[in-house]
A and B are shown apart, each in its own frame.
Chain A
Amino acid sequence: MPQYAAIIYSKDVDWTLPEYTTDMKEYNEFGQAAAAVIRGGAALYQTSTATTVRVQGGKGGDVIATDGPYTETKEALTGFYLLECADLDEAIRVAAQIPAAWDGAVEVRPVIDFGG
């Protein structure tokens, strides 16, 4: 069965703070409801904690680490799920249940199968 990354774009906040308890509860509910298709995933700290790494001049060159995310967007990349679904329609149905889809956006991308 194909796997999909459901990449979450939402408000850029620290989800561990007490004021986001309700949000976390919604994510927990989603996690339980979709347990059959979730193969992995992670929630990320806010983009102000991000460091973007580039190596100048290609492999072996100078490491340039800059403060902040790769791109600044209104909604930030705040996490992802790895889903295993029958097809894109099922993946879309599952993604629509992720709380971020209700006020942000969820990008669904097929995962490359290297045939391992």
Chain B
Amino acid sequence: MTEAEARAALVRLVRDEGRRVLATLARVLGDLPLAEDAVQDAAVRALESWPRDGVPVEPRAWLTLTARRRAIDILRREAARAGKEAESVIEPDDPPPAESSATVRDDLLRLVFTCCHPALAVETQVALALRTLCGLSVAEVGAALLVPEATMAKRLTRARQKITKAAIPYTVPADHELPDRLRGVLAVVYLLFTTGYAPTGAPRPDLVDEAVRLTRLLRELMPGEPSVLGLLALELLQDSRRAARHRADGTPVLLADQDRGRWRRDLVEEGVLLVGEGLRRTPDVPDPYVVQAAIAACHALAPTWADTDWAAVVSWYDVLLTVADTPVARLNRAVAVGERDGPAAGLAAVDAVDELSGYPLWHAARAELLARLDRVDEADTAYRAALAIPQDDAQLIHLRRRRARLGGR
């Protein structure tokens, strides 16, 4: 292991364990921002001392103890400033109770529902989840959400103030409130997933794993909830392609060109079963996650790109548009139409989604279809338009390769 790899592994360990420590400490203290400060401090100390002294046998216990001591310091300092006795919420040298895995899970869920509280703006919920649940730095959260770091720092500070001053509770909502609250949580968890699965920059499998884990946890809490089944299915079916989605150099491989032998069949099977259960539980009103998972299942079950049941894919997109009409969904439907009915029909369908002209993949889709129609000059122009839009490097390299291939026709 190189020094950089060892460092990265250490950072991952500290983040992963730190998140669990945070979830529990926030419950014990009844103060999420205070717990965050304390865990942040413990994480910094861990990254200083562990490379020197070695990683403790029980990293979580080490982080818990360090964070608790830090929390007490902060409480005492604040109390001294206010001229009051510090209330001893916790004792510094009590051995931290060994939390059962069920308790830790519940604590993580509380953390999820607090970060996704409807009294916070949606963009704030997403930012908090990334910061607090994923342990991303403020800069990384800003980058993930395409917001400047200074703006993101302000937003997170305001969110912390609101959680404390308005006393947003650190609880899992009551049964009758769960469906509403769940919708917001799922949107945040899925964003977490896509941030790891299709990020700007290198994929972050740890985020993907965390999102899937959180989704599984939500499924345990609400086993019959169709949107949870749908989201889990969607994530598993997408994640089944993990090993086939990138070349060694990090550039993406299109679904059409992926080595399907490298797809994880176990995840495909689990995902397909979940789609079936989700569909059975939504006979009247389709659930957007279940329908998107059904589309992913069509791809997962096809032996090759050419053998995909495109009529089914287009039909599922038609269903999806009845419940979640977005330009990107319409673009994907248009691409499927191109496969079902030929490139001319596909091009007409893609051209109809012209509000996406600021989106590189819209131009890329046009370019692919134009190339198949042997309109090479127009295809080249479309690729140039795609390349002119700011995007991450791996995708730029990929688009340049596709464009270069035009010359070979």
Interface residues of A (CB under 8 A from B): 2, 4, 85-89, 91-92, 108-110, 115
28 residue pairs of the A-B complex, CB under 8 angstroms, read A2-B166, A2-B167, A4-B166, A85-B167, A86-B167, A86-B169, A87-B167, A87-B168, A87-B169, A87-B171, A88-B117, A88-B119, A88-B166, A88-B167, A88-B168, A88-B169, A89-B168, A89-B169, A89-B171, A89-B173, A91-B167, A92-B119, A108-B166, A110-B165, A110-B166, A110-B167, A115-B82, A115-B84
Q: What is B's interface to A at a CB cutoff of 8 Å?
A: 82, 84, 117, 119, 165-169, 171, 173
Cα distance A87–B119 in the bound complex, in angstroms? 12
Closest to B84 in A: A115
The interface residues of chain A lying within 8 Å CB-to-CB of B168 are 87-89
Distance, CA A91 to CA B117, complexed state (A): 14
Q: Please give, as numbers and ranges, the residues of chain A lying within 8 Å of B173 by CB-CB distance.
A: 89
Residues of chain A lying within 8 A (CB to CB) of residue B171: 87, 89
Chain B, residue nearest A111 (CB) = B165
Q: How many A-B residue pairs have CB under 8 A?
A: 29
| Interchain CA distance A104-B119 in the complex, whole Å | 18
Q: 11 additional contacts, CB 8 Å, given A88-B167, A88-B169, A110-B167?
A: A2-B166, A2-B167, A86-B167, A87-B169, A87-B171, A88-B119, A89-B168, A89-B169, A89-B173, A92-B119, A110-B166
CB distance from B208 to the nearest CB of A (A): 32
A92 and B67 CA atoms in complex are apart in Å by 33
List the 8 shortest-distance A-B pairs measured between CB atoms, nearest first.
Answer: A87-B169, A2-B167, A87-B167, A110-B166, A110-B165, A88-B166, A88-B168, A89-B169
- B161, chain A: closest CB distance, angstroms: 10
Q: State in angstroms the CA–CA spacing of A87 and B167 once bound together.
A: 5
Closest to A2 in B: B167
Most-contacted residue by chain A among B84, B166, B171 (CB, 10 A): B166
Alpha-carbon distance A15/B165, docked complex (angstroms): 33
Bound state CA distance, A21 and B173, in angstroms?
37
Contacts of B166 in A (CB 8 A): 2, 4, 88, 108-110
